[in-house]
Amino acid sequence: MLMIPGPTPVPEKALLELAKHPIGHRSDDFSKIMAEVTQNLKWLHQTQNDVLVLTSSGTGAMEAGIINFLSRGDRVLAGTNGKFGERWVEVAKAYGLEVETITADYGQPLDPEQFREKLEADTEKQIKAVILTHSETSTGVLNDLETINRHVKAHGEALIIVDAVTSLGAYNIPVDEWGLDVVGSGSQKGYMIPPGLGFVSVSAKAWEAYKTANLPRYYLDLGKYKKTADKNSNPFTPPVNLFFALQATLRMMQAEGLENIFARHQRLMNATRAAVKAMGLPLFAADECASPAITAVAPTQVEAEKVRSVMKKQFDIALAGGQDSLKGKIFRIGHLGFVSDRDVLCAIGALEATLQMLNVEGVTSGAGVAAAAEAISQ
C-alpha cells in the first residue's frame, strides 16, 4: 500500500489500460487518444494554453520549463526551502544562468515579501524568471504561489516557472486566472498513473520568450512538442500505454470534478494531521503552510526509520523517509492522487499500532483513528 508522495496508487481502470497491447504512435487511433488527452489536460490545468506531454519524470518537465525560455547569463530568482527548490537552482546553474536565491529553512514556507522586495528593486527589469516549487515534497510545505505570482506580475518582465509536481491535481491552480507562464508536473502524482510522463503548460508570454532563448535543447525542445501536439502527435516515440492509462484517469478526474478533487485532498490532509497530533507526534510543517499532498512527521521519542520499517514489514504500508539533511529525522505520509478516506484511516490505524509496538509513550489507543474520523466527517 503506497502512502508516499509518488509513485502514488494506480486505479484498476488505469492498470487494465497498461496491460493492453500497444498501438502505433503514428496511427489515427493514437491521434484520437492524444486529442482527448490534450483537451482534458487543459481542463485539469484550467487553461487554454498549450499543455505539452514529455516522456520524462517531473524533473524533465521542469528542466524543459527552464531551458526553453531563457538564455545563458539571464538573471533568475529561485525560491528554495527544500530538496526540490534546490534542484531547480542546480539545473539553472548547470545551464549558465545567473541565479539569486530566496531561501527559508526546511519546514518553513517561502516569504512572499522577499520576492516582492527583490522584484520591485529590479527597476532595470533584469530578472527574467522566478522559479518556484509550489508543494515542496521533501518537507510537506505548500508555498504561497498566488501571492508570489502577483509580485511577479507586478514586475511585468519576469516569467514565473512553477514546479507543481505534487500540487497539480491536488490543489486549485487556475493557470489562466493567475496568468502562470510555465507549470511543470509529473504523471506519478495527482494524475494517478505510473512514472514516465512529464507535463508542461506554456503561456503566450513564455512562447514569446522562446523565440529568443538560446540555451541548448533538443529532446526537451518544447517547440517540437507544440508543433506535433497541434497535429495530435508527438515528436518522438511516446510510452503509448501510459497514454492509455492517462486517458482513463483524466476521465475519472472529470467525473469526480475539480472542486471535489481539491476538497478530497484537503480532507485527507486535515484527517492525517489531526491524527498525527492526537498520537502526540510533532508535525514538521505548520498547519498554515501544509501541503495537501504529503504530511511530514518529525518524531522525537522514536526513530523515523524504525516507524517506516515496522509499517512496511508488519502492515505492508510504505511511508516515505526524509531526504538529504532530513534523512532519518522525519517520515512522510502521502495522501495524493488515488487515495480515499478509507486509505487514510487504514494507514493511521497501522501507524497507531506501530507506535504501540515500538513502546512509544503517551499513545492512547484509538486516538489517532478517532481524530481522523472526526476530521473526515466534518
pLDDT digits (tens, 9 = 90+) for 163-179: 999 999 999 999 999 99
| Boundaries of every domain in the chain | 11-255, 258-377
| Residues 111, 148: Cα–Cα separation, whole Å | 8
Task: Specify the CATH superfamily of domain 258-377.
Answer: Aspartate Aminotransferase, domain 1 (3.90.1150.10)
pLDDT of residue 362: 86
Q: What number does CATH give the domain 11-255?
A: 3.40.640.10
E strand residue ranges, the chain: 2-3, 50-55, 75-80, 98-103, 127-133, 135-136, 141-142, 159-163, 182-186, 197-202, 294-297, 318-321, 331-334
Q: Grid coordinates in use for 307?
A: 516507524
- From the number of C-beta atoms within 10 Å of its C-beta (0-12, 13-18, 19+), residue 159 rates as buried
- Interaxial angle between packed helices 145-155 and 112-121, expressed in degrees from 0 to 180 and rounded to the nearest 10: 10
User: Shortest CA distance to 140 belongs to which of 161, 109, 164, 163?
Assistant: 109
Global confidence as pTM: 0.97
For the chain, list residues with pLDDT below 50.
none
7 preceded by a cis bond (ω within 30 of 0): yes
pLDDT of residue 75: 98
